[in-house]
Amino acid sequence: MNKNDRVDQQSYTHLAQASVNTTADTERLKYIQPNSEQKQQKHRLKNTHLKAQWRSVFISDVHLGTKDCKASALNQFLKYHPAQNLYMVGDILDGWKMRGGVYWKPAFSRVVKRIFKLSKMGVKITYITGNHDEFLRKYANNRFENISLVNKATHITANNQRLLIIHGDQFEGVARASGLLRFIGDHGYELLMFLNRQFNRLRAQFDLGYWSFSGFLKTHLQRAQRYINDYEQAVAYGAQKQGYDGVICGHIHQACSRTIDGVAYYNTGDWVESCTAIVEDFDGNLSLIKWLDDPRYKALKKIKKQRKKSLSLINHSPKHPLPVPVAAEQGDEQGNN
Ligand SMILES: [Mn+2]
């Protein structure tokens, strides 16, 4: 049981004792006290996290400082994937969004704290700059404790593969997304469908035929796929030309693990939507991890939900009204008489 758990336990007991008055309250205690099954499950999860060790973990595109950043999920992921090397492959901090005022959440600080803690524990951390944190590029080739800041790095795997670690925006000139694709990414399909309805209403007024937005989208999604392909090929080709066996990059928020013309291509994906990472085991095998599909993530989510439910019972939230105790009601009636 760690310190936080103990604090939680104490506050539970304290709150519980303060409010035991009626039979209904006694009933409620069953929810408030974390049951042994929950405790056991948490213990099991902790043990697996201690056993699972990776040689290296690669993450990118966290975009700390933006609303869509999945910092809590990343925090969990880092906790359950201890490694000797941690590579942060660019766009960890989002300097672009911070220009228009800083958006910061406690979860972001927890990620930063964890990274410094890992550095203190002896994890070799490499921070590779990206285009959203390009303000750090002028400070490249500096070190703080076990954290080194670089624009690109070379990683030698356990089975002696030479990998280029780079954010990847450097290859964007080869394949550039159209403005429309960025628009879709920002505002989503729903908005486009809404615009489609409005647009066709207008066209109907002027006696013009229906114009299919989905057909239009389809061709543009094909274009998006082509862009991703072009990007992946450009990166793989670039790495090969520099004499590498493979490359690990980020930037396009499209996690991937495949071989392109004999070059190992890995993309770490992102922590804005997909919550993905690349990990290396002690034999030098690399694989793609989708944290949201991990059974441990799902188990943790369930525990969190149950705890939230217990707390809402304590807080007498109007969303979950407590049953009115029968004894108290009768007492009231007697009092009125
Ligand atoms: Mn980027």
Of 1-5, 78-82, 135-139, 160-164, the range with the highest mean pLDDT is 160-164
- pLDDT of residue 16 exceeding 50, the answer is no
Residues 111 and 75: beta-carbon distance below 8 Å: yes
Instruction: State the chain's mean pLDDT as an integer.
Output: 77
SS3 105: coil
- pLDDT exceeds 70 at position 59: yes
> Which of 72-76, 79-83, 165-169, 212-216 is predicted least confidently?
212-216
pTM of the entire predicted model:
0.68
User: Radius of gyration of the chain from Cα atoms?
Assistant: 26
pLDDT tops 90 at residue 77: yes
Q: Exposure of 129 by Cβ count < 10 A (0-12 exposed, 13-18 middle, 19+ buried)?
A: buried
Distance 82 CA to ligand 1 centre (A): 25
202 or 228, greater pLDDT: 228
17-37 per-position pLDDT tens digit? 444 445 555 555 444 455 566
What's the 251 CA to ligand 1 centre distance in angstroms? Answer: 4
Structural domains of the chain ordered from first start: 3-33+298-336 (no CATH), 50-291 (3.60.21.10)
CA dist., res. 144 & res. 253, Å (int): 28
Write the burial class of residue 9 (CB in 10 Å: 0-12 exposed, 13-18 middle, 19+ buried): middle
CA of 169 to the centre of ligand 1 (A): 6
Q: Which residues surround ligand 1, an ion (CB under 5 A)?
A: 91, 130-131, 251
**More confident position, 235 or 201:** 235
Cα 98 to averaged position of ligand 1 atoms, centre (Å): 15
Task: Give me ligand 1 centre to Cα 266, in Å.
Answer: 15
Q: How far is the CA of 97 from the centre of ligand 1 (A)?
A: 13
| Rounded distance from Cα 130 to ligand 1 centre (Å) | 5
CA of 327 to the centre of ligand 1 (A): 63
Instruction: Tell me the CA–centroid distance for residue 171 and ligand 1, in Å.
Output: 11
Higher pLDDT, 317 or 111: 111
pLDDT above 50 for 180 = no
Cβ proximity of 235 and 174 under 8 Å: no
Q: Which range has the worst mean pLDDT, 20-24, 94-98, 244-248, 317-321? A: 20-24
Looking at per-residue pLDDT, the higher value among 165 and 6 belongs to 165
